[in-house]
Amino acid sequence: MSHPATPPRHPRLRALGLLLVPTLLLAACTGSPATPRADTAPVTAAPQVTGPLCAALPTGTEPGNPSFLAGQPVEAALRWIPTLTTFEAALRASGVRTDLPAGVTVLAPSDDAFAATFSEDNWDDLMTHHTDQLRTLLKAHLITGTHPIGDLTTAGTATTLDGVTVTVTRTGPTARLGDRADTVCADYQATNARIHIINAVLGPLPVTADGTGHRAH
């Protein structure tokens, strides 16, 4: 018995198949455009600090530079800034450091500012025997919330943690706080904090402040 012959392929269908093969291959090769990586970190600008003292403080890749401090908690950032050793030690000795609000602006007097206000003996006496006065003094340098210096000068006033409202005005490249202090390097950033270095001690000065300026720098 003879088998039926295989039906011949229709010429039009065969031609269509030849056309479809390269089309399918092209689609498989090209695919959809690549999706950007979701974990690509955005490029962020380095914090810009301003003031006449900034040039003498760590910059670039030096330890304690502004970009490094931006990722540090405020208590660690204060330890990295070389001119704030007196202020940072006072925060620790008084216990105020552990009471800092979740977001805080620090008006940090420089070591020279403390040296111009207290003799070494008087400062040691305040640190050792007058903790309540020391805490009040330090709270005069803390503001709830993280405020760039530009925002403080725009507002015109700021209320510190001791409940006192101080005026804040722009004086050229610096800011004037009350009638006593100027910023000398403003706008350090830390985790949930801003740090503005100032050149005088604020607040009601204890009677131990004699202004003799004998403290060692």
Asked whether residue 88 is domain-assigned, the answer is yes
Give the side-chain half-sphere CA count within 13 A for 13: 4
211: left (phi over 0), alpha (psi -120 to 50) or beta: left
- Residue 216 is predicted with a pLDDT of 42
Q: Which residue has the tokens 């000065």?
A: 205
Asked whether residue 109 is domain-assigned, the answer is yes
How many independent structural domains does the chain possess? Answer: 1
Top pLDDT among 174 and 2 is at 174
Asked whether residue 27 is domain-assigned, the answer is no
132-180 tens-digit pLDDT: 999 999 999 999 999 999 999 999 999 999 999 999 999 888 999 998 9
Using pLDDT thresholds of 50, 70 and 90, give the confidence band for residue 208. low
- The residues near 86 (Cβ < 8 Å, ≥ 6 apart) are 109, 111, 114, 115, 123, 215
* Of 89, 174, 102, nearest in space to 142 by CA: 102
The CATH number of the domain holding residue 160 is 2.30.180.10
Asked whether residue 31 is domain-assigned, the answer is no
4-41 tens-digit pLDDT: 444 444 444 344 344 444 443 444 444 444 444 444 44
Compute CA 39 distance to the chain's CA centroid, rounded to the nearest angstrom: 23
Asked whether residue 25 is domain-assigned, the answer is no
Asked whether residue 71 is domain-assigned, the answer is yes
Spatial separation of the C-alpha atoms in residues 116 and 200, rounded to whole Å: 8
Domain limits for position 160: 54-198
Asked whether residue 143 is domain-assigned, the answer is yes
Top pLDDT among 45 and 27 is at 45
- Residue 41 is predicted with a pLDDT of 43
Asked whether residue 48 is domain-assigned, the answer is no
